[in-house]
Structure 1
């Protein structure tokens, strides 16, 4: 007899897969199956089993077969049977042995007490009430076709909301028809290069996310690093790269070094793209969070046909909400949709509808403004702590984003990262983000994320950070 699912209305608990295959009588097979379910933990101690009549009907067995199986398991101590209480798994039944946890070496510190890794927004500030209300309103208003196979371009409700929001907040020039919803920037790279829409080689900044480089490596895309200075990427180097027709930039707030792309370089990279017939990929990494002035608008606004703009809610809301977008030049829309396929396979339609409603209702703007104030306060605390305890070390770049780079004396980065680990900190050295083929001089530094630690622990995290820094 094949495996059967037991789902009696009288049973307390979840469905249970009972394997009735194997040698022996039906009674013996049932006894073995129930015993295995208890031994493996699928039937926990105290779980009430269905009455034998119900289980017999569910499994297509004779009542006496099930009654005899119950009686034998009671006699063996696997089950208990009491008047008015039914048949239950015995409390003395041994649970599954827990996995053995290896002992920590007394010479190795435990995991980080304070997480200062970059790129993590405050998880406790996710707007749960506003999101729940937006989801409820969106689902109540959604047409029936929203619950069919998803449109690979994304729901029109979200694309309309994004076109309006990006236009007024980031200076992006677009229409809903030129937006394709994805699950984040890495997904956009996979679609563009893994899907054959674009080809390498691709110029990139000398410092950036290694994860993005690994996505490009997986698509066999050769990346060529551009020098960085206080004005951002040195885009004039593009003219000396004859085989390169694409460049990936983080112009609002270079990741991780922290400077914006200078206005003259913004114009220069557009001129290069026009003259080369090339394309600028604009990663609007935490572009909403500028603290010393209004955020700089997107480069895309200078030429929507030569710039592919990409963004997501991973920093503004949460990386758990897997929603991002590409604002495409007109000639790339159909090619990206062909690479994506006939159905949406990544971005949840209910989440798209909820985000659209969150934006349309104004709650998204209010959340971003609130988080802008919160993160600015965190950065100010970091700067104040350094001024008080390590005045020889200051953050570089503009006041923006969710992290700061602390430049260190030459030759001290590795020892400082090690000291931070011993202080219970999780963070990265600047070298972790350096392109392996970069030729610009290496700089020692720490990339300190200040957004995610809870308020009650942030002061202690800063004290531990200051204890880790090299002396003047």
Structure 2
């Protein structure tokens, strides 16, 4: 979750006024399910400038976030064998299953998606998050990127969810795969982490042969996304306010990430942190003897919500013990309180309890 209190309300209102002042009345009716031409062009220009994506506006389809994009693609590609990363975003796995597709799980290691394992399956399409793997945060290595593109050029499709690409803190951004194989890579993005999930605004950049069927599916799904949001977002992109907002949030999230890392080192020194270089969450691996379900319950009793890493695995019972910790929508005080609560829960799980100073004392009872 991004910092919802930092949504650029004034810039958004100004952008909406600018968009409404220039739009023709007929554009407020039923427009192309692809989205307004001006909005698609603005998104195309932004992606070319920031991600190196060769986004012809005619191949851009605006949609209600990345989740709808996955749903539309699942409908269009329902006759293909689909694979996805394991672990991977649990909701996207559910969307595929809802459309009758059981995605083949492809393991992820320190270099990202195991392309050799992918090539040894029957999959002809794979969903991947190469810039910041969800949920581990691993960046797909150069050798794996090359191998994946070779796999795609052999007649297969890559669905590139450019997850959290806008937020990198310790190194330069990683280029999008789409730039290297635009006819074999479907590019997905959204504003859910950059502005707010409530906007329900995202985009696809499609190979030429998929534009017509995806637009048809989009038309039948909802006849098109909100014209008002498209107008405002296009103006926000062109004014430079979107770039300024991202620069502000990068600084803010970096400070919160650093505070979370400090708190984890102090209160959970045995934890292994993954995915710290980018994004708005960390994945934390805990010692093997930790009871994750018990830790989640005990943290919840202290009004601290944490998601178990197991949700992201095809076989949750086989997942290593771990947690997913979001930090972008929290103050430093909330981060400190949350990590202390988690440390206390881990201490109970291990029969020891950290005191308020982060030191470990024997468990004196429930």
TM-score by length of 2: 0.90
The alpha-carbon deviation at position 453 of structure 1 amounts to 2.2
Between the aligned partners of 1:347 and 1:279, the Cα distance in structure 2 is 26
Q: Which residue pairs with 1:331 in the alignment?
A: 209
Q: Is the 8 A contact 1:423 1:468 kept in 2?
A: no
Q: Which residue pairs with 1:259 in the alignment?
A: 138
Between the aligned partners of 1:249 and 1:121, the Cα distance in structure 2 is 22
The alpha-carbon deviation at position 198 of structure 1 amounts to 4.7
Q: Which residue pairs with 1:435 in the alignment?
A: 314
Q: Which residue pairs with 1:46 in the alignment?
A: none
Alignment partner of 2:26: what SS? Answer: helix
Q: CA 1:309–1:322 in 2, change beyond 3 Å: closer, same or farther? A: same
Q: Is the 8 A contact 2:31 2:224 kept in 1?
A: no
Q: CA 1:250–1:265 in 2, change beyond 3 Å: closer, same or farther? A: same
Between the aligned partners of 1:392 and 1:373, the Cα distance in structure 2 is 28
The alpha-carbon deviation at position 214 of structure 1 amounts to 1.4
Q: Which residue pairs with 2:12 in the alignment?
A: 131
Q: Which residue pairs with 1:225 in the alignment?
A: 105
The alpha-carbon deviation at position 141 of structure 1 amounts to 1.1
Q: Which residue pairs with 2:355 in the alignment?
A: none
The alpha-carbon deviation at position 331 of structure 1 amounts to 1.5
Q: Which has the higher helix share?
A: 2
The alignment's C-alpha RMSD in Å is 1.9
Q: CA 1:343–1:230 in 2, change beyond 3 Å: closer, same or farther? A: closer
Q: CA 1:344–1:356 in 2, change beyond 3 Å: closer, same or farther? A: farther
Between the aligned partners of 1:349 and 1:460, the Cα distance in structure 2 is 41
The alpha-carbon deviation at position 460 of structure 1 amounts to 2.5
The alpha-carbon deviation at position 344 of structure 1 amounts to 5.6
Q: Which residue pairs with 2:125 in the alignment?
A: 246
Alignment partner of 2:119: what SS? Answer: helix
* Bigger radius of gyration among the two: 1
Q: Within the alignment, does 1:459 sit opposite 2:336 as a pair? A: yes
Alignment partner of 2:197: what SS? Answer: coil
Alignment partner of 2:55: what SS? Answer: coil
Q: Which residue pairs with 2:187 in the alignment?
A: 309
Q: Is the 8 A contact 2:159 2:188 kept in 1?
A: yes
Counterparts of 1:155-234 in structure 2, within 5 Å, are 155-194=36-75, 196-234=76-114
Q: Within the alignment, does 1:358 sit opposite 2:232 as a pair? A: no
Counterparts of 1:93-104 in structure 2, within 5 Å, are none
Alignment partner of 1:425: what SS? Answer: coil
Q: CA 1:458–1:410 in 2, change beyond 3 Å: closer, same or farther? A: closer
Q: Deviations 1:287-321 (Å, cap 9, x if unpaired)? A: 11111012211111110001000111011000010
Counterparts of 1:26-41 in structure 2, within 5 Å, are none
The alpha-carbon deviation at position 274 of structure 1 amounts to 1.2
Between the aligned partners of 1:450 and 1:285, the Cα distance in structure 2 is 16
Q: Which residue pairs with 2:363 in the alignment?
A: none
Q: Within the alignment, does 1:446 sit opposite 2:326 as a pair? A: no
The alpha-carbon deviation at position 212 of structure 1 amounts to 1.2
Q: Is the 8 A contact 1:200 1:222 kept in 2?
A: no
Q: Is the 8 A contact 1:134 1:354 kept in 2?
A: yes
Q: CA 1:125–1:132 in 2, change beyond 3 Å: closer, same or farther? A: same
Q: Within the alignment, does 1:348 sit opposite 2:226 as a pair? A: yes
Q: Is the 8 A contact 2:72 2:218 kept in 1?
A: yes
Alignment partner of 2:198: what SS? Answer: coil
Q: Is the 8 A contact 1:423 1:465 kept in 2?
A: no
The alpha-carbon deviation at position 340 of structure 1 amounts to 2.0
Between the aligned partners of 2:30 and 2:305, the Cα distance in structure 1 is 42
Between the aligned partners of 1:461 and 1:129, the Cα distance in structure 2 is 31
